[in-house]
Amino acid sequence: MSNAVPPLLTALVDDAAVFPPGSMPLPDAVPAHLRHRAGRWAAMIGPLLVPATDLPEIAATVDIGVVGEPAAVEQALAAVPGNLTVRQVESPVAKRGEDPAPGIDRLAGLVRKHAEKPWTWYFEVPLAWGLMLALDQLARLRDGGLPVAAKFRTGGLAAELFPTPVELAAVICACRDRELPFKLTAGLHHAVRHTDPDTGLVHHGFLNVLAACLAADAGAEPTDLAGILADTDGIPLATPVRDALDRPRPLWVGFGSCSVDEPVTDLTNLGLLPRRPAESETPGKVRA
């Protein structure tokens, strides 16, 4: 029943179950992904993200995103098993503190090598020195016909891996100004910005990001977006999102999450996805 998912939320969440912190074993992650793809929220779920080195371990027929360092990705793509359909490729271009330009050039060569394939390539760019020049470089590649987009990390195991609302707002506007699609990864399990009770780290909310992208698409500036990204109240965040549910999602391709159920639960609780009929209130009765 994929029509339960409105256009704004279609293909919002890539299934990153095998990656930390979930770290689900691949033999468990594949059947779980297939159940999601056959379920009520299938239209909201993108491919199963798989480390490049693990492709031969998958026996099922499944759509995947290949994730890994450029060398591992190149080796994996040279012999993709016939049961797998590659939808996207994700690879870092540099470590923090390194110049991303040479890595972008090397990865662009791999994209050209597979130019006949209908894959989208996500170049993971560190949110650090050289970022804006790297986005210029990606935009030129895209203008030249290569199916490339940007990827950014919004979390991790240390506080410095989480960009501030101001930093993330600047990135969103920079991508908008370059007409460069982007995806996010790490830390976006829940809809609204919050502090993780186990680690004390403050996580971005994917609903915050969605509301900020809608505002950016309407011409808002980074200072406006920073306030949206810093908001911890889901009610005002849900209002512009609810108003835009019937339109395609602007700017932001989506995000990888090691949990598919958590985003669905949060969106349902905020009234942005319909509850299952069994969860609905029966007219004239009050649920205990």
- Calpha distance 239→90 (Å, rounded): 32
Q: Where are the domains of the chain?
A: 159-181+189-270
Residue with tokens 């704004």: 8
pTM of the model: 0.93
224-262 residue pLDDT tens: 999 999 999 999 999 999 999 999 999 999 999 999 999
With beta carbons less than 8 A apart as the criterion, state whether 184 and 177 touch.
no
Three-class secondary structure of residue 8 per DSSP = helix
Q: What is the pLDDT confidence band of residue 1, given thresholds at 50, 70 and 90?
A: very low
Dihedral over alpha carbons 7, 9, 15, 16 (to 10 degrees): 140
Alpha helices by DSSP H, listed for the chain, are 26-37, 70-77, 100-113, 131-143, 165-177, 206-217, 222-230, 234-243, 261-269
| Cβ-based neighbour number of residue 101 at 10 Å | 15
Mean pLDDT score, 10-19: 97
- Calpha distance 274→5 (Å, rounded): 8
The amino acid sitting at 15 is D
86-95 residue pLDDT tens: 999 999 999 9
DSSP code at position 271 = T
Report the DSSP beta bridge partners of residue 152.
Answer: 184
- Please tell me the predicted confidence (pLDDT) of residue 157: 85
121-171 residue pLDDT tens: 999 999 998 999 999 999 999 999 999 999 999 998 889 999 999 999 999
- Calpha distance 14→20 (Å, rounded): 14
Within 13 A of 266's CA, how many CA atoms are on the CB side?
23
Total number of residues shown for the chain = 288
Dihedral over alpha carbons 186, 189, 191, 195 (to 10 degrees): -80
- Calculate the average pLDDT of the chain: 93
